[in-house]
Homo-oligomer: A and B are copies of this chain.
Amino acid sequence: MTRYIFKASALCAGSLSIAQPAFAAAPGADAVSGGTAYILNTLLFMIGGFLVMWMAAGFAMLEAGLVRSKNTSTQCLKNIGLYSIAGLMFWVIGYNIAYPGDFNGYVGGFTGPYWMQDVGAADLGTGYSVASDWFFQMVFCATTASIVSGTVAERVKLVPFFIFVTVLTGVIYPIVVSWEWGAGFLDAMGFSDFAGSTLVHSTGGWAALVGAIIVGARTGRYGADGRVNVFPGSNIPLATLGTFILWLGWFGFNGASQLAMGTVGDVSDVSKIFVNTNMAAAGGVVTSIILTQLRYKKADVTMALNGALAGLVSITAEPLTPNVGSSILIGAIGGAIVVYTVPLLDKLKIDDVVGAIPVHLFAGIWGTLAVAFNTQSEVDGVTLSIAEQLGVQAIGVAATGVFVGIASAIIWFALQVTLGVRPSEETELSGLDIAEIGVEAYPEFARTA
């Protein structure tokens, strides 16, 4: 049985068409009906949504594997807790801050608590169910908090961490989102961030960076003599699993950000996004392996995992317009960024437990800037030049950094002077699991140290 009978005509007869025709608009036997399109659009949000929800498990496993075993239970609890809090906060106020409709473009336009609205509505005019859209946006919200969780692991108390998450997911992240996806000032300038290299990943990265600086490094991490003590992750297969989960979830993250698959053009775009997303990650992995092999004579597996994630973050700002080769390149550069900036953070004595700042912030900035080379926005009827687009992308990066940085700093400081952020040094050394959770992660396994 030949498996791909269409392929012969499509690929080999040179009949490739590059344009994405909107067949849905065509009348006649090929048309997609309004009701069918509505169902398919809604289905995209649901599939994308459950894949992104699954990323919460990915972050949990990645972080559980990369912390020391005395803090693993805490990391598990932080992750399931933050995902839950993010959903609740997005319901209470986040969604309405993020998508305010007509507003001044910066803050505001908040149209009242979300619970006064009905997610159960079916309105054929919108083209998809409100609940499906809401679900998809909601699951994005937790990602930002997961990033912070990884960076400041092993030395932040549970309650202040959850309070930070509450503000981050309920207010800070939604405001940033409103600037672009909510039709705010960045959108008006022509800023472009398809699935959130900046809005999601850099936002989390900035909050993590500020947190790492204010909270300080783990006790004993940076010796008085300038020596960096490595605290190796306690469970590499779990971290590997987490990375694969995130990779899988990213098809939903990027793919469903097309926001529609009710037309031939849209579904073709979604599938192209799948390809580009996968290949950028592959580029990040291979680059990380090669670079660590060359540099250290060993192919560091945690670098390969972070290389995959950096590739994914890099392509997130624009997974549609690049061709496959460009996507691989974008991801590969993301992977290289990780290999070179992880040691840099250690030089600066910024203690990032899982490498989330290189992955989500640095690769996120790279991905956002790289957009300019692949697509240019139209502003007031005029298409930006590459240089102009690059400038606008940089403004978006900077605006996010300034706002998230300041807002995060205020919250972290406020927590520090009130509840206190760090546990006692004694608690930290014996591990947060016993003190804060009361449940050891691996109570039966004897420790080497």
Q: Is A102 an interface residue (CB 8 A)?
A: yes
Pick from B3, B272, B447: contact of A446, CB under 8 Å: B447
Interface-facing stretch out of A80-88, A212-220, A405-413: A80-88
Interface-facing stretch out of A143-151, A181-189, A341-349, A360-368: A181-189
Q: Is A160 an interface residue (CB 8 A)?
A: no
A278 touching B135, Cβ below 8 Å = yes
Interface string of A106-137 (1 = CB under 8 A from B): 00000100110111111111111111111101
Pick from B50, B64, B126, B233: contact of A274, CB under 8 Å: B50
- Show 5 A/B contacts (Cβ-Cβ < 8 Å), sorted by A: A2-B187, A42-B271, A118-B323, A232-B443, A298-B435
A321 to chain B, nearest CB (A): 9
A6 touching B126, Cβ below 8 Å = yes
Contact A69 B444, CB 8 Å, known A20-B122, A88-B279, A436-B299: yes
Nearest B-chain residue to A64, judged by Cβ: B237
B448 touching A53, Cβ below 8 Å = no
Nearest B-chain residue to A60, judged by Cβ: B240
- Which residues on the B side are within 8 Å of A162 (C-beta)? 289
Number of copies: 3
Q: Is A152 an interface residue (CB 8 A)?
A: no
Interface-facing stretch out of A26-34, A221-229, A382-390, A418-426: A26-34
B440 touching A278, Cβ below 8 Å = no
Nearest B-chain residue to A18, judged by Cβ: B118
A131 touching B271, Cβ below 8 Å = yes
The complex places the Cα of A43 from the Cα of B259 at a distance, in Å, of 14
Q: Which of A229-266 contact B (CB under 8 A)?
A: 232-238, 240-241, 243-245, 247-248, 251, 255, 257, 259, 261-265
Q: How many residues of A contact B (CB 8 A)?
A: 174
B18 touching A121, Cβ below 8 Å = yes
Nearest B-chain residue to A448, judged by Cβ: B446
The complex places the Cα of A158 from the Cα of B259 at a distance, in Å, of 41
A194 to chain B, nearest CB (A): 7
Nearest B-chain residue to A44, judged by Cβ: B43
B7 touching A133, Cβ below 8 Å = yes
The complex places the Cα of A137 from the Cα of B187 at a distance, in Å, of 37
Pick from B57, B245, B261, B444: contact of A39, CB under 8 Å: B261
Interface-facing stretch out of A9-17, A201-209, A350-358: A9-17
Contact A36 B34, CB 8 Å, known A10-B130, A72-B237: no
- Which residues on the B side are within 8 Å of A180 (C-beta)? 1-3
B51 touching A50, Cβ below 8 Å = yes
Interface string of A423-449 (1 = CB under 8 A from B): 000000000000111111111111111
The complex places the Cα of A43 from the Cα of B262 at a distance, in Å, of 11
A259 touching B31, Cβ below 8 Å = no
Contact A102 B39, CB 8 Å, known A33-B29, A80-B243, A285-B80: no
A99 touching B7, Cβ below 8 Å = yes
Q: Is A197 an interface residue (CB 8 A)?
A: no
The complex places the Cα of A64 from the Cα of B240 at a distance, in Å, of 10
A132 touching B271, Cβ below 8 Å = yes
A12 touching B102, Cβ below 8 Å = yes
